Structure 1
Amino acid sequence: MDIDDPLPANSNKGKTTPWVEKFRPQSLADVAAHRDIIDTIDRLTSENKMPHLLLYGPPGTGKTSTILAVARKLFGSQMQNMVLELNASDERGIDVVRQQIQDFASTQIFSFGAKASVKLVLLDEADAMTKDAQFALRRVIERYTKSTRFALICNNVNKIIPALQSRCTRFRFAPLDAANVKERLKYVINAEKLDVTEDGLVALVRLSNGDMRKALNILQSTHMASKHINEEAVYLCTGNPLPKDIEQISYWLLNEPFSESFKKISDMNATKGLALVDIVREVTMFVFRIKMPSDVRVQLINDLADIEYRLSFGCNDKLQLGSVISTFTRARVAIVASAK
């Protein structure tokens, strides 16, 4: 069995493999979304016209899976000999470019059985590379472009120097649509014979935010904690507040006096082990769904964003909870004033 072949169904190793890897697409046809990008890359590789690639976008959107599927298509069983795979966040300096990458690109490899005459250098998390390393990589790409193709993967394309961007064909991988995430999750649920309710599936899709890797990790973690996967099990496993809890908190913020809101929200946090930053994030989304004057909504969302920012730097939770309640108190006053 080749190293890149899918694990057989009765493999003991398959039972302990993270589902992110176990169910990673093996071919371009298996990639969950971005069919326009996939079809373009598929056509370029089929016509032996593959350019240098720059794949960028949020985590868990299929960038690495796509380029690995391309490598399998091009090299088949010779993939280990024909592909140099590096994680640039670990090996990010100029020495890696001068030694590992240049040595690989300059070495002639006899690729018996490979479908392509060029080698492939895969640089994951390329936005972590130093500027010096990127400039050195630019020169290596120019020198060895006849024998080697380079594929750069990153989250933040703005951290890639223009000289590198101009030498690559760029493809942006947007967050996955809910329908794509749901379809792939159903495939995994059927393959693993899981007991997942419809509201549990909706919760998985919602919490993933278009990140397929996150969706699979949550699914596997919840399955390890509970054989019956419903909405409550998913939220309890991730530590996120349940939608009904957010509705209750929002009701207190919009209707109760300051002291009552503070006490009730603090008690819920202590009882359910919720993080205030998660509550602020979910309450912000709730604000989009309730009816209020647009100027009040904008101000409220901006104030909540400021509080979330402060919480991300470790500001005191009690002080920030007071800020949340004060923000909603001002919004309530503005709503009443606009109604008169």
Structure 2
Amino acid sequence: MGVANLEAKVELLEGDEGQEADTRGLQKTYYLAWEHEDLKHPSNRYRDMPEEQGRDWAGLVNNVIGGLALVAGTAALAYAAPYALAGTKIGAVVLKGLSAAQAGQKLGAAVFLAGSMSVIGLGVSDFMSNRVSSREEYLRRAMAGAISGFLSGASTLALSDAGLAAVMGGGFAEGFVSEAITEKLLDEDGEIDWAQCIQSGVFTALIDGILYGTFETKKVSTDEKEFTDNPFDENGKLKPNVKYQTGEYNYNYETDANGRISNWNTDNLQLTKRTERLKHDSNTPGKVTGDHAGHLAGDRFGGSEKLDNIVTQSQNVNLSQYKKIENQWAKAIKEGKEVGVNVEIRYDGSGLRPIEFIVEYTIDGEYFCQSILN
């Protein structure tokens, strides 16, 4: 890596051996700018510069704004990326139970934080050294920081429930690639110090390993959840981390650590044999004005009328988006086709109101998946 932004003043006199300078017999002040550790490198050059120089405030501010604008644009793209994956098999693996909005926020924030810190750091350095780096340098710093932030955010998402070995392996890859990209963008010659990349990878792996051991909170898997015949506690609320069956056809359900329904599924969705619709409990958790109490397994499919099958849904979700999918199921069943359903219910932090439904289903083996924002 080069020795950046070091300046030294030298005096050149006419006739000094090895120097070509027309000083007309007068002593003249030059500055030697070291931009490379090899002093013979052509980037190390003498340049004529006045002793006193005012700060180019406009240039500095414009460069910082330009760099931050690039960072903001890249962060917006990072925020949008998870939406392209939502509702797909890849998305189900990558997002790890997060909604597209939650994953986008994490990625976007990581990109903006790392990128803006890189740009602002260069701005502070320029201010302190009474110089202004080029616009290109600021844009390079912005992109290098943004890429590092994206790699960090993506690694955090992808390995959120992985074991220690995977976390440290991901940390090494993140540190190695991030350092390589940064050096490629920032080094004047585009040279990459591979030893430094390995060192950065090892350092990041160790940090991630330490954080894993310190802050890891493992989610309870489906296999670890206890099956219960009664999912309600003495206060009428759903128990946390349990599995249960309910409804006319005993469809399968799970709750999370906060006692919220997190999944319902069945390999054999059926139409009810009831002749009348059951009156359901409309007191769903997290309900706000305009919301509906929506069935996960609809009444026409023999779904329970209790809070073990009913959650808060927006009017549009309940009467339109979710209903349209249910219509497809009902039509397929009437045609004698086999319908399997798996619905994942996602929440924002510890909130009680669902923010997204990931609806996966098969009709005679053909797979479909749709993300419904609530």
Q: Which bracket does the TM-score occupy, shorter chain normalised?
A: under 0.3
Q: Which has more helix, going by share of residues? A: 1
Q: Which has more strand, going by share of residues? A: 2
Q: TM-score, normalised by structure 2?
A: 0.22
Q: TM-score, normalised by structure 1?
A: 0.23
